[in-house]
């Protein structure tokens, strides 16, 4: 499952090369700005960039259009994006404008996640893979999957489902690993909840198939406190249903809401 790793490593090289060449927005002349300005102004910039309103070439380069290098110049030091697992891909992604659309007015949301774009970027980066390399094998594998496989369910596209969700979302896993790493098998990319999902009833005795007890349940605490609070001195840890209900882990059978001291 090194797909993303391969994909994004390739892109990093491209960006650092552009950087090293010193592609800093040099004296892009006043006249360039004027030409751009008077051609078409597609709309007011976002509030965050409002002060760049007269400075079109802060983001644009004639002919090339929006210049990713210029975005990076101003934002390369944003530690908080780079350190959060889901946005760490910013370190090496080679394009910005698709997820950060501009000219939609002061109130517009400047950041919108587009998961399928990640797949296109990855595929594009793998296009030039050396024959016989690991990257080429990955590309062929992906291309085959996109041609012959089906989306795992109807709320996700096949294009999105080939992403390695856990590389960006393993910290969001609510299942303590019990459901495996293939999040796309059950989840879509717009929200984690699953509209058609119905939780098993409180009378189920299989709770431990899908839930893992907290570490305290495997320590003295369990016999000394948990079992006593629940009035079930002989229950074993894996018999969650003896003490718990489905409303909340703190809503203990017979004892009601358990408050921590």
By CB under 6 A, the residues from 42 to 81 that bind ligand HEC are 42, 45, 48-49, 52-53, 55-56, 58-60, 65-66, 68, 70-72, 74-75, 78, 81
Q: Does 189 bind ligand HEC (CB under 6 A)?
A: yes
Shortest Å, Cβ 131 to ligand HEC: 27
Shortest Å, Cβ 17 to ligand HEC: 15
Are 46 and 59 in contact, with CB atoms under 8 Å apart? no
Nearer to ligand HEC, 127 or 200 (CB): 200
Shortest Å, Cβ 129 to ligand HEC: 20
Sign of CA dihedral 184, 189, 193, 195: negative
Nearer to ligand HEC, 41 or 133 (CB): 41
Q: Does 113 bind ligand HEC (CB under 6 A)?
A: yes
Q: 93: which DSSP letter?
A: -
Are 19 and 69 in contact, with CB atoms under 8 Å apart? yes
Number of residues that bind ligand HEC (CB under 6 A): 112
Nearer to ligand HEC, 77 or 130 (CB): 77
Residues 202-231 that bind ligand HEC (CB under 6 A): 202, 204, 206-214, 216-217, 225-227, 229-230
67-80 burial, b if ≥16 CB within 10 A, otherwise e? bbbbbbeeeeeeee
Shortest Å, Cβ 95 to ligand HEC: 5
Q: 258: which DSSP letter?
A: P
Shortest Å, Cβ 21 to ligand HEC: 17
Please tell me the distance from the alpha carbon of residue 198 to that of residue 87, in angstroms, as a whole number.
31
Which residues face 66 on adjacent strands? 60
Angle of helix 68-75 versus helix 3-20 axis, rounded to 10: 90
Please tell me the distance from the alpha carbon of residue 36 to that of residue 58, in angstroms, as a whole number.
12
Nearer to ligand HEC, 1 or 131 (CB): 1
């Amino acid at each position: 499952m090194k797909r993303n790793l391969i994909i994004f490593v390739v892109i990093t090289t491209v960006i650092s090369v552009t950087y090293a060449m010193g592609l800093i927005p040099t004296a892009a002349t006043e006249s360039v700005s004027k030409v751009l300005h008077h051609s078409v102004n597609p709309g007011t910039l976002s509030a965050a960039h409002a002060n760049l309103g007269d400075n079109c070439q802060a983001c644009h380069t004639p002919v090339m259009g929006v210049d990713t290098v210029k975005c990076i110049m101003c934002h390369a030091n944003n530690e908080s994006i780079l350190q959060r697992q889901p946005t760490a891909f910013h370190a090496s992604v080679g394009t910005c404008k698709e997820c950060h659309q501009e000219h939609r007015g002061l109130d517009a949301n400047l950041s919108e996640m587009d998961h399928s774009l990640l797949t296109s970027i990855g595929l594009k980066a793998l296009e030039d893979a050396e024959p016989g390399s690991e990257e080429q094998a990955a590309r062929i594998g992906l291309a085959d999957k996109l041609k012959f496989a089906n989306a795992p369910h109807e709320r996700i596209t096949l294009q999105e489902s080939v992403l390695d969700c856990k590389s960006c979302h393993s910290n969001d896993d609510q299942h303590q690993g019990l459901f495996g790493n293939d999040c796309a098998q059950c989840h879509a990319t717009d929200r984690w909840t699953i509209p058609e999902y119905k939780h098993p009833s409180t009378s189920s005795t299989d709770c431990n198939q899908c839930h893992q007890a907290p570490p305290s349940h495997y320590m003295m605490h369990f016999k000394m406190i948990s079992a006593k609070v629940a009035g079930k001195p002989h229950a074993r840890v894996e018999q969650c249903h003896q003490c718990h209900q489905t409303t909340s882990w703190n809503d203990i059978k017979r004892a009601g809401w358990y408050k921590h001291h």
